[in-house]
Structure 1
Amino acid sequence: MIKNLGQLISHLATKAGIPAEDQHLKDILSNAELTKVTLHSDLVKALDDNLLSVDAAADNHPTIGAKYKAEALNAYDKVMARVMDELELDEETKTELTGVKSSYKRFEALAAKIKDLKTAKANAGSKEEKTGLQKQIDDLLEAVRVAKVEKDDEKGKV
């Protein structure tokens, strides 16, 4: 446990990646007066807990990780909002999707909604096409019937 200023400086230097053989560090730590300055454990703990090394930060310290994750996902959410606008989704669907709290789950919900819309559109297109084709068939059958009637009328006249 760190009890004096010399130990704290040594600990922080190690945490910062400064080798114990560093001449500047040796010069500071050689001052005997540093060992006479005692430190309260709360101060040492606060300094140690809140000063991160690059390695500790890279290991995704919870506070730092949350900050950068939020920044990345906020940008992602803006892109999702733009995509929803470009897809011309109705307000009810947009509200439903933005109600999903997790950005990852919102992406999954949007993908499912796109799939549903594509299926609905494909089915609607097929139905319209079937209706159009059925009308063409009916028109052709009517033309055949009329032609047959006209042919029968022509036969009757002869």
Structure 2
Amino acid sequence: GEGEIVAKGDNVMLGYYKDPERTRSVFTEDGWFRTNDLAVVDEKGRYYIKGRLSNMILGPSGENIYPEEIEKVINDMDDVNESIVLERDGRLVALVQFNDNIIDWDQEGEDKFFENLEARKQAVLNYVNKQVNKFSKIKEIEVMKEPFEKTATHKIRRFKYKNRKDGNSDNGKE
């Protein structure tokens, strides 16, 4: 099966500080905390987290696309440091930061640099699109020069990149 992970017990948070409306939004009527994590369970009863429900992208034909699944494929590539997948104008776009030794940013603007960058972007597209289902295929790669902005828990601040066309963050603007 597939569904949201919920938790209940004395060890689960009591709520958001001075925010009863937000607290109500994350608890079910019978007191279960909604984690926002989507999981699948296999035939042996093992659970696997697919991604965050809030990150889910609705495909053009109503498919549920979990960007974390696509990001895992990209991040498993040797040359990639990390990535995020976003939906822009009905298309899946991957923002990719390559490992430091892969891109020589000192040569930015030179023909050889551009050719190398385009070849690496195409390699990511080819690799990923062979690994994912048809509605999870990436249409575009944007290369990140700088590391992604992160939270205190080292998670990428995904919302900062959603509307940007150049791969840079929105610097606090949503």
TM-score bucket (shorter structure)? under 0.3
Larger Rg: 1
Give the structure-1-normalised TM-score. 0.21
Give the structure-2-normalised TM-score. 0.20
**Greater share of residues in strand:** 2
